[in-house]
Structure 1
Amino acid sequence: MAWVVGAGMLMGLLAIASGVVTLRTGWILPAARRHVTRPRLHGVGALAAGACPLVQGLFYFRILPSISWEIRFFGGNALLLAGLLLIAASQLLSPRRSPDRTDPSGV
Structure 2
Amino acid sequence: MAWVGGTGAFSGLLVIALGIVTLRTGWIVPTARRHVTRPHRHGLGAPLTGSSVVLRGLFCFRVLPSVSWEARFFGGNALLLTGLLLIGPSRLPPPRRSRDHGDPSGV
Trace 1:3-82 onto structure 2 (pairs within 5 A). Answer: 3-82=3-82
Indicate the percent of aligned positions where both proteins have the same amino acid.
65
How far does the alpha carbon of each residue in 1:36-62 deviate from its partner, in whole angstroms, 9 at most, with x for none? Answer: 111111011100000001011111111
Report deviation, 1:93: 5.4
Q: Which amino acid aligns with 1:16?
A: I
Q: What is the root-mean-square deviation in Å for CA atoms of aligned residues? A: 1.7
Letter of the aligned partner of 1:94 in structure 2? P
The list of structure 1 runs, each at least 4 consecutive aligned residues, that deviate by more than 4 angstroms after superposition, is none
Counterpart of 1:91 in structure 2 is 91
- 1:86 is displaced (CA, Å) by 0.7
Question: CA separation in 1, counterparts of 2:65 and 2:93?
Answer: 39
Secondary structure of 2:88's match? helix
Aligned counterpart, 2:105 = none
Structure 1, unaligned runs of 5 or more: 96-101
How far has the Cα of 1:74 moved from its partner?
1.0
1:80 Cα offset (Å):
0.7
Structure 1: how far apart are the matches of 2:36 and 2:3?
32
Q: 1:93 to 1:83 in 2, by over 3 A?
A: farther
Query: What is the alpha-carbon distance in structure 2 between the residues aligned to residue 48 and residue 40 of structure 1?
Result: 13
What do residues 56-77 of structure 1 show as CA deviations (whole Å, max 9, x unaligned)? 1111111111110001011101
Larger radius of gyration: 2
- The letter of the residue matching 1:4 is V
State the TM-score, normalized to the length of structure 2. 0.85
Gaps of at least 5 residues in structure 2 are 96-100, 103-107
Give me the whole-angstrom Cα distance separating, in 2, the residues matched to 1:16 and 1:66. Answer: 23
For 2:93 and 2:43, the matched residues in 1 are separated by 15
